[in-house]
Structure 1
């Protein structure tokens, strides 16, 4: 059965700042607090290739992207049978503002690994041939956090996020495992959280670097984002890229690693 596409005018209203500034509970968490913060303990190495990376040279981003975490929520919701239609959720997540809280330190390892890839001439010989590729993996010291701006969410979607969050077990590549820690609401975020370049106000942390992080586009629909769909994803329509300040700065490098740290709290 075909589903009706949701338009911006048909989406439910978002939570008001007056509500978020009171002690009233939202998503099962007491206020006040505009930000719903979900914290996770990384339990393995993380890797998420930059959009410009190739299959041979796989440079990784230092942190997960809003797109990756929103997709992780949808994946966990489907796997665990939460009663929400993903086709209805995607437009609601597309308007949701999400910022990433970085750990105190991150170390990127530079490795050469053996892989098997399709040959250029696919008509003859084996379907895959041995090759080598450059890969990067990130070790985190400290928790990863994901902060949703509740003023960009409706009450039902906020409750769904808080309910699904403990079921998220990995992000990025399947080996990038996480363990859910806790949720809370905050009135303001610290400088340990990412921010888009265009939204910056005030003094920057001393240790930062810039990266393009992807997010759901303004017209994102589940059919386009679904890996098993034949629909093509369109840049800036279904998936957008935002130049982002990441509060981790390079402090040391060596032949096989790069060490990043955040400013102390």
Structure 2
């Protein structure tokens, strides 16, 4: 069962690739499935508490979020601003400033996030929280909820398939592992995160670029 949710970016977006270092980090063009699901967990726990997820081997609510398949339909332009910022680094017991590379992205159009879930109960559960989310990625990268669609657009951001190549930008995105338990998404638990990685093809082409920015535009 598919449905989608539309968000309008209201600020510059930045979400560094998980393989990046603190000193140099390129940004993903769109929110990753992992970041979307973590935003859902945050809203569910904030509103209803963590009790639903504690017994995660039997928690259908945990499975509703973890097992949801996420794709995207994007349009418009992506303007990537290259910036050097100062971050605090702990050295010899003292925090010291050091330069770090970051990318901040202007998205001209709204983004449609498409969910594929098992049944109507899972759909209703996710829609209890999706409209409450107001940012993805770095704190301050705000998105405004626009609405739900029961008949979503066809996804144009697709997993990379070497036998069916489509033009675009390849980026590696994280998702919550199907083997993950609640402790693997709980920031207060010592267990590490369990993530699956997948490569998406973002259907954009380069319009212009310089040392300060890169401008991409969607192909459709």
TM-score normalized with structure 2 length: 0.89
Separation in 2, partners of 1:258, 1:225: 34
Separation in 1, partners of 2:51, 2:76: 35
Written as runs of structure 1 = structure 2, the 5 A alignment for 1:29-108 is: 34-81=1-48, 85-86=52-53, 87=56, 88=59, 89-108=61-80
Shift in alpha-carbon separation, 1:229–1:109, aligned structure 2, 3 A: same
SS in 1 for 2:100: strand
Written as runs of structure 1 = structure 2, the 5 A alignment for 1:120-159 is: 121-122=92-93, 127-149=94-116, 152-159=117-124
Q: 1:174 is matched with which residue: 129, 139, 142?
A: 139
More strand by share: 2
- Preserved contact between residue 90 and residue 220 of structure 1 (Cα < 8 Å): no
- Give the gaps of 5 or more residues in structure 1: 1-33
Separation in 1, partners of 2:163, 2:177: 21
* Matched positions, count: 215
Separation in 2, partners of 1:77, 1:90: 10
SS in 1 for 2:196: strand
- 1:133-189 per-residue CA deviation (whole Å, 9 max, x = no partner) reads 11111111000121011xx32322210111211100111111111110000122651
Q: 1:257 is matched with which residue: 209, 213, 216?
A: 213
| Superposition RMSD in Å | 2.1
Q: Which has the larger radius of gyration?
A: 1
Shift in alpha-carbon separation, 1:114–1:92, aligned structure 2, 3 A: same
SS in 2 for 1:186: coil
SS in 2 for 1:118: strand
Shift in alpha-carbon separation, 1:139–1:183, aligned structure 2, 3 A: same
Separation in 2, partners of 1:79, 1:251: 42
Separation in 2, partners of 1:216, 1:72: 12
SS in 1 for 2:138: coil
- Preserved contact between residue 66 and residue 100 of structure 1 (Cα < 8 Å): no
TM-score normalized with structure 1 length: 0.75
SS in 1 for 2:48: coil
- Give the gaps of 5 or more residues in structure 2: none
Following TM superposition, by how much is the alpha carbon of 1:111 offset from its aligned partner in structure 2, in angstroms? Answer: 0.5
